[in-house]
């Protein structure tokens, strides 16, 4: 790994300096669909990037930089200290900024990409404080580019040296770049907007949003919810329904709408966190603010829907055992055998066991079948009843459900 000092005298301009981009015609600033030049398109082909680009976040980095010492060093050189923080939203331009960082200064994993990264660049300093009570996620987005620019985050040591790459987002053309960084060690990081060759420079927007969860979830009361109804302007658009202890389904209120599967990756006292790795989508069900929050590989986390209702009522999807009786005393149990389709009915009076096979479930019930006797059992979690039926057409409530899990 190479370690290099940042050259402040050669690279930092005053924050309010007027760049050559800002002096150009405003018509370029108002383009809604930037068009790459012929030379840029040719250069993109030479990069040999995968179709989806490169988006990597490295888990372990060395970071020891002192914010006070770093700022003091910047001021001693009589240069501006451009800081990126939560809520940051910046309209920038690399034209006129000069080539401050390139393959000779970047860590080896950037050099290995094979591009010189000697285009004009602009960079910012991210000061990460110590927050032992929370795990903070920093979502950094590079958008609205008129040329092909890439996004990097580097860690610094106390001598203001780049020692590690924390993350890099590299896509072809003017596609948006995005990095989502969680659990950063306290210290100073450098956020860099750079072009991979010297002939590229242009406009961009850089934004950062932050979110946090408790750093000690075992010590808190985790939120108890298994169904969330969401919508917009008070109109229901769908539900998030927990289907198993670890999986959820997003169900559209429109019968012709799309439904999506999610895995639950965590909970805290306010929220449930879901992910769909097939689409790169993350969902936060924020029951404290009553908001559904959304992010993906191209989009930093944002508020998406209102939460209209939620509950934790035991339902057919989650039931694995019930105790039945007369509403007061338990006289027996229906219990799923591990996570299989096999169930057992166990009578408390003599421990008699009858085997059943699960045929299906819905939101309200679990449905069991004993083919040897032609008997069906419905564990109705909505009415809290065990319902009996058979092949002779008999059907009636057999027991009260006293409790379920």
Tell me: pLDDT of 38 over 50.
no
Cα radius of gyration rounded to whole Å, the chain: 29
Give the residue, 360 or 172, on which the prediction is more confident.
360
What pLDDT is attached to residue 156?
A: 78
Q: b vs e for 281-319, b when ≥16 Cβ sit within 10 Å of the residue's Cβ?
A: bbbbbbbeeebbbbbebbbbbeeebbbbebeeebbbbbb
Using a 10 angstrom Cβ sphere, with 0-12 exposed, 13-18 middle and 19 or more buried, the burial of residue 157 is: middle
Cα four-point dihedral sign 83, 88, 91, 94 = positive
What pLDDT is attached to residue 395?
A: 94
Contact 166, 58 (CB under 8 A): yes
pLDDT tens, residue by residue, 88-116 = 898 989 888 878 777 777 777 777 777 88
Domain ranges of the chain: 4-214, 217-311, 321-404
CATH assignment, 4-214: 2.60.120.380
Model confidence at 15, pLDDT cuts 50, 70, 90, reads very low
pTM of the model: 0.49
What pLDDT is attached to residue 215?
A: 66
70: three-class secondary structure by DSSP: helix
Tell me: pLDDT of 185 over 90.
no
């Amino acid at each position: 790994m190479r370690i290099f000092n940042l050259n402040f005298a050669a690279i930092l301009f005053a924050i309010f300096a007027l760049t050559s981009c800002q002096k150009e015609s405003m018509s370029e600033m108002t383009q809604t669909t930037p068009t790459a030049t012929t030379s840029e398109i040719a250069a993109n082909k030479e990069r040999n990037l995968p179709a989806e680009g490169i988006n990597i976040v490295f888990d372990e980095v060395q970071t020891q930089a002192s914010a006070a010492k770093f700022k003091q060093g910047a001021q001693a050189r009589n240069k501006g200290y451009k800081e990126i923080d939560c809520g940051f939203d910046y309209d920038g331009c690399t034209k006129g900024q000069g080539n401050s960082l390139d393959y000779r200064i970047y860590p080896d994993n950037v050099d290995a990409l094979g591009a010189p990264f000697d285009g004009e660049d602009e960079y910012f300093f991210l000061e990460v404080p110590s927050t032992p009570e929370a795990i903070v996620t920093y979502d950094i987005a590079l958008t609205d580019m008129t040329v092909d620019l890439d996004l990097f985050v580097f860690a610094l040591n106390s001598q203001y040296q780049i020692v590690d790459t924390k993350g890099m987002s590299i896509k072809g053309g003017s596609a948006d770049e995005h990095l989502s960084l969680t659990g950063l060690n306290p210290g100073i990081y450098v956020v860099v907007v750079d072009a991979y060759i010297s002939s590229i420079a242009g406009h961009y927007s850089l934004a950062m949003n932050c979110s946090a969860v408790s750093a000690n979830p075992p010590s808190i009361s985790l939120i108890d919810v298994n169904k969330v109804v969401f919508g917009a302007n008070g109109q229901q658009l769908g539900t998030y329904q927990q289907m198993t202890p670890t999986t959820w389904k997003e169900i559209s209120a429109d019968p012709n709408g799309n439904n999506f599967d999610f895995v639950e990756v965590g909970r805290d006292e306010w929220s449930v966190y879901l992910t769909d790795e097939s689409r790169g989508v993350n969902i936060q069900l924020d029951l404290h603010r009553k908001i559904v929050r959304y992010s993906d590989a191209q989009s930093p986390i944002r508020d998406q829907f209102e939460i209209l209702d939620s509950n934790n009522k035991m339902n057919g999807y989650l039931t694995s055992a019930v105790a039945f009786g007369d509403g007061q005393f338990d006289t027996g149990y229906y219990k799923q055998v591990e996570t299989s389709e096999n169930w057992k009915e166990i009578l408390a009076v003599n421990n008699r066991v009858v085997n059943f096979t699960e045929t299906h479930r819905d939101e309200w019930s679990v449905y069991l079948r004993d083919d040897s006797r032609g008997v069906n059992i419905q564990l109705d979690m909505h009415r809290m009843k065990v319902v009996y039926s058979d092949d002779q057409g008999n059907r009636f409530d057999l027991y009260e459900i006293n409790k379920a899990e």
